[in-house]
Structure 1
Amino acid sequence: MRVRQAANPAALDDMALARLCADREPAAVRHLLTANNQRLFRAAWSILKDRNEAEEAVQAAYLKAFGRIDQFEGRSALSTWLTRIVVNEALERLRAIRRRTTHLEAEGVSVLNTYREALMRGSEPAAPDAALAQRQLRDLIERAVADLPAAFRAVFVLREVEGMSVRETAEALGLEPATVKTRLLRARRKLQEALAPEVRSALEGAFPFAGVDCERMTARVLAALQIE
């Protein structure tokens, strides 16, 4: 039995929302996208460190997810299920990038350093009286996080920036909870060397993917699914 259209998709539980999305109910699909765009973008960026690659990974992951969302069983949160899909997509893309750049690695050029100049920037304009300070803080935070080892960076972004639980992070990355805790601790220690306490408190605002960026991703996926 299919779930009827709901006036407020945000009030649905994950199973009901997934069923409506499987039926391509526009309001439900749009809600799922806008509710998860930022988390999925952050997860993809934590692996790829490139804005364009991360956006492409998110779109591809959404299409894969919608292709089998009728199989969602609710064993984990729908957002965690989506995060795992985008993590796998990003890892596949990273492996492809590394294969394409083997000749650079042979010359001692790091694959990830190729993307250092393409670090993500904020998508929403800051308030006029704080634009410069906010931009400087974000740049400092993003550079420090980008310099973390890959294994630590993904855990840190999902736990500290996105606010996922240890269990959700472990499930999304295919790790043991104890490993998540250990990597997060090591990531924090490394960042303490680069970030003052008052700067670390600004992490919640880092890596934004909202406003125009969020709307654009939603429009792209809706168009791919042929939903108006």
Structure 2
Amino acid sequence: MAEKGGLDMTAALSDGEIVRQVLEEDPRRFELIMRRNNRRLYRIARGLLQSDADAEDAVQDAYVHAYQKLGEYQGTGPLSAWLAKITVNVALGRLRRAEPAGEGVSFDDPIRSEEANYMAQLSNTPPSPELLAARGEMRRILENAIDALPEAYRMAFIMCGVEEMSVAETAQCLGVEQNTVKTRYHRAKKILQQQLLELLDTSAVDAFSFDGVRCDRIVHKVLLRLEIGCREGRSQ
């Protein structure tokens, strides 16, 4: 694995150059791709799965899939968007396997009753002044509010509002029209603003924290899985 200093020295490398190096020179360069995209992919997976542990597992699966398909990356769009699409698909697959028979995962617009239930749930449990006084608790309140959004709104907000992905990238990842993404994002933001007021603007960037320990853990586990796969492939 490359030393920390080596990773820092490669900060100016383009995604396309790193992909080329992974494919043609040193597969361990894939670590650079992971460290550049870990937080975004974790947040996207977390938004769908609503579980820290499941999100970590999904990101690992997404990286393994991306590594195996890296030669198919055309470079016509951001590598981060390509990875985000893979992560969405992996997370959706996990949700579908966990859903009871007859229930599916969909990014269709939620029905009005879901919005009403969400609003009633938050209205019945207002945050206390003590909670609002602590930034850490405020961030947790925001995360809970985002988690409670209908799924279609939640993913639009996490991708556009939290991760600041473009409307086009978000639409491509979710498989919907750009106008649909815009509508869902603005609706999600309006709902959150009604409940959380200024908390949305002050704490959104801190939602779903991604510390160095989690980043290192994901990188380490993915590299182990890829090395095992390589050894198995050579032994056949």
Same fold, judged at TM 0.5 (above): yes
Q: Contact between 1:14 and 1:78, CA under 8 Å: does it hold in 2?
A: yes
Higher relative contact order (CA closer than 8 Å, sequence separation 6+): 1
Aligned equivalent of 1:205: 206
Q: Contact between 1:15 and 1:73, CA under 8 Å: does it hold in 2?
A: no
Give distance in 2, aligned partners of 1:22 and 1:6.
Answer: 18
Aligned residues: 194
Identical residues among aligned pairs (%):
39
Equivalences for 1:107-146 in 2 at 5 Å?
133-146=134-147
- Give secondary structure in 1 for the equivalent of 2:209: coil
Tell me the TM-score normalized by structure 2: 0.76
Aligned equivalent of 1:166: 167
Give distance in 1, aligned partners of 2:25 and 2:88.
Answer: 24
Measured at CA, do residues 91 and 158 of structure 1 come closer, stay the same or move farther in structure 2, by a change above 3 Å? same
Give distance in 2, aligned partners of 1:37 and 1:18.
Answer: 16
Letter in 2 for 1:37: N
Give distance in 2, aligned partners of 1:167 and 1:204.
Answer: 21
Q: For 1:37-68, what per-residue CA distance to the aligned partner results, in whole angstroms no more than 9, with x for missing partners?
A: 11001111111111111111110010000001
Measured at CA, do residues 144 and 82 of structure 1 come closer, stay the same or move farther in structure 2, by a change above 3 Å? same
Letter in 2 for 1:156: F
Q: Could you list the runs of 5+ residues in structure 2 that have no partner in the other structure? A: 1-5, 104-132, 229-236
Q: Contact between 1:137 and 1:199, CA under 8 Å: does it hold in 2?
A: no
Aligned equivalent of 1:21: 22
Give distance in 1, aligned partners of 2:141 and 2:160.
Answer: 19
Q: Rg bigger for which structure?
A: 2
Q: Could you list the runs of 5+ residues in structure 1 that have no partner in the other structure? A: 103-131
Q: For 1:107-139, what per-residue CA distance to the aligned partner results, in whole angstroms no more than 9, with x for missing partners?
A: xxxxxxxxxxxxxxxxxxxxxxxxx82321111
Q: Quote the RMSD (CA, aligned, Å).
A: 2.3
Aligned equivalent of 1:108: none
Equivalences for 1:45-84 in 2 at 5 Å?
45-84=46-85
Aligned equivalent of 2:188: 187
Q: Does 1:217 align with 2:221?
A: no
Aligned equivalent of 1:125: none
Q: Contact between 1:47 and 1:90, CA under 8 Å: does it hold in 2?
A: yes
